[in-house]
Amino acid sequence: MLGLPALIVAALGLSGCTSVRRLHEPLPAISAIHSPDFAQATGSMLGASFLPGNRITTLSDGDAIFPAMLGAIHLARHTVTFETFVFHRGGIAQQFVDALAERARAGVEVKMIVDDLGSFGAGAYFAALRAAGVQLEVYHPVFSADLWRLNYRTHRKLLVVDGKIGFIGGVGIGDEWHGHSSGSDEWRDLHYRVEGPVVAQLQAAFHSNWFAVHHEVILGPGYFPALTEIGHARAGAFFSAPQRGRYTVGLMYHLAIAGARESLLIENPYFVPDRALTEALCAAAQRGVKVKVIMPGRHIDFSPARLASRKRWPRLRAAGVELYEFRGTMLHSKLLVADSLFVSVGSANFDPRSLAINDEANLVVLDPSFAREQERVFESDLQRSRPVDLQSPILSGVIDLPIRWFQSTFERQF
């Protein structure tokens, strides 16, 4: 749930306080995703090569995700690096505090970055972690004289253990993610366990912000050990840091859409594409790509995002894009699958903040087997969804006025 500090930052993002750099027009159709030069061009443009030999394990919902993460932490022998946006007070957070503190007391080097906005009110946990020996940095404190930095948040979800096992996805540390998304208080989400050469790129993503906040270069085999091939998937980790001039997420989305020829599946909690992404999706649908989007329905933690999303629905539907709303609970997973080969997972949403303001980190996988698995995940979630209703009564009468104001604010700024 978003508190007052989060609403303040959301307002800053909408008010034009940030210089937003992004594509203003959709890319034309480029080399197909299955062509050899797509991976070469995409990796080069986004700043990381696609490395072979990785194994990526899908973890669905909190009851699978949290035990896997905590189990890896308990087995750490040398280092743990951990970066997260959400660290909410509760039972899940306490489990992570206990596990990280125990490893630090055992002599493991534990380094942690937590966004001050997403962890507002968790100061007692941080004191306990520091007392145990954890090196913990709070990213861009809310109560700071530097108001410009207030709008820039780290939204990444990264965990790397001994430089060998990585985790990335959409899950924050909070009780709202517990369970199996079987009730309205159990959020639906996806996270991924990563092994193989690409883990070094996940570590590099963490290091980019660790150096920014702690001014330390992390080196050595405890952080960057030799990594052998352990699976069959090609993968690359891509991260954005807009405050430092690194814009990657939006370009990655555009490249995937422009390279798609057959299918494009998107599952995202905050589906508020700007004009260029809207037109890119429409162009893809009009050239014959089957485009499907799943987003939250009435169960959403930030209703204005859903209202702003509606601005694009008539245009997208007219172009042939299929739009669905997830039922039963909050959908928080961030998944994109293109042409049964290209898969993007990680922290990035499909909205202006992720495109141009937040620090984000995504893993892109080029592997047909992994892509087919994610397509099955998407189809399972589709069974729990229904087509959007363009004639919803919420868009009529007096209630329509604030909605139109909110939509027009997005329209002007993004």
Q: Is 185 one of the annotated active-site residues of the chain?
A: no
Return phi, psi of residue 413, to 5°.
-85, -30
Task: Report yes or no: 9 and 150 within 8 Å, Cβ to Cβ.
Answer: yes
Nearest to 233 by CA among 190, 265, 191, 196: 196
Of these residues, 157, 191, 254, 292, which one is catalytic?
157
HEC secondary structure over 101-150? HHHHHCCCEEEEEEECCCCCCCHHHHHHHHHCCCEEEEECCCCCCCHHHH
Task: Report yes or no: 113 and 155 within 8 Å, Cβ to Cβ.
Answer: no
Q: Is 339 one of the annotated active-site residues of the chain?
A: yes
The C-alpha angle 7, 12, 16, rounded to 5 degrees, equals: 150
3-state secondary structure of 293: strand
Q: Is 37 one of the annotated active-site residues of the chain?
A: no
Beta strands 322-326 and 290-296 are parallel
Q: Is 311 one of the annotated active-site residues of the chain?
A: no
End-to-end CA distance of the chain: 24
Of these residues, 140, 155, 191, 207, which one is catalytic?
155
> Within its chain, how far is the Cα of 387 from the centroid?
24
Of these residues, 115, 116, 162, 367, which one is catalytic?
162
Task: Report yes or no: 138 and 114 within 8 Å, Cβ to Cβ.
Answer: yes
**Residue position matching structure tokens 């899950």:** 171
54, containing H or E segment = strand 51-60
> Can you read off the two tokens belonging to residue 351?
């909205």
Nearest to 365 by CA among 160, 170, 201, 204: 201
Of these residues, 178, 207, 311, 332, which one is catalytic?
332
**Which residues are CB-neighbours of 322 under 8 A, at least 6 positions away?**
290, 291, 292, 293, 387
Of these residues, 115, 274, 339, 367, which one is catalytic?
339
Beta strands 51-60 and 233-240 are antiparallel
**Residue 339 region, left (φ>0) first, then alpha (ψ -120 to 50), else beta?**
left
Nearest to 100 by CA among 159, 60, 179: 159
Q: Is 290 one of the annotated active-site residues of the chain?
A: no
Q: Is 24 one of the annotated active-site residues of the chain?
A: no
Catalytic residues: 155, 157, 162, 332, 334, 339
